Structure 1
């Protein structure tokens, strides 16, 4: 599995083995804009992202590319982590936080790690007294009990999803407590469209593909 800072030679090799191609940088984009179908960005608040949107390209994150390569199938973004955020340097809501996870599988953890790091936090696979937040799928496990013993805030995945979507989030809100209704790490494109106008706009670039998928439902 690729990491977020990425082994770029392996990424390039994997894409080309699957019949695609990849270019890097503004110059390559300008030279091959007509052939480019997807543009990988971290945030929509960059000049490159604005140009790609104007050119009606599909904007996705590196996590989308990693998950598609692991899945061995091109697909519409199905996770929050597949869509670029609004965050840029100087505007990262979790800057300096240490966050750990409990109860999620390896694929879910990779997507969540991408999200927390995009927002300025650092993921730790372990839990220590220095952690600020534990994101847990369920209670009644040792890691959750230890977090509560150490007075570390325990929240559900909804807290992370809402943060990533740019909402104003309070960890103490009842919505983010374990046992409350919570979005899945992989809610699917139709659910993502309903979250906010930004996600809807990004997924609109996939509209023909979404329409073809819906015709089989």
Structure 2
């Protein structure tokens, strides 16, 4: 029995990653951490901190991600560049540096295990930002749209034109196509307020 207590069963986590159920990662890691802590196992060196952090970031729970980061041993923070890189994404989200989130994603060469989760997060994040822009603007500059969606101006133009926006080439402004709001797309007014403040900060 002693032997079993010291081995961690990561099969649930491995299965969740393999099946792209990234929204389950944070809960699986939290539960497993509580379990091994209760058993008195010294798990710190073997713990998948980067995945645990990324699980909370993927789920949009930055407070929990901060808690995981703060409770991490200093040796892990100093010796695992990928953990630091994941937290770099978390920091940008925490400070609402929307463009910085994409910079943090692009500025690290992610490991094969982490890369698909980061890519899925990036894709979801772009979709969320797009919904915020649709809800918050009737017109917006090409430059600001590119910043918010983490793309070049050419790529962002292609992306939003497919979504039905129109471009005034001379003014470099998009006219936003409003979508019929379904219950899923109801927007948190505080998010819209933060977005407006961010654009104001960009432009002044």
Structure number with greater Rg is 2
Q: Of Structure 1 and Structure 2, which has the larger fraction of its residues in helix?
A: 2
Normalising by structure 1, report the TM-score. Answer: 0.23
Q: Of Structure 1 and Structure 2, which has the larger fraction of its residues in strand?
A: 1
Normalising by structure 2, report the TM-score. Answer: 0.24
Higher relative contact order (Cα pairs below 8 Å, separated by 6+ residues): 1
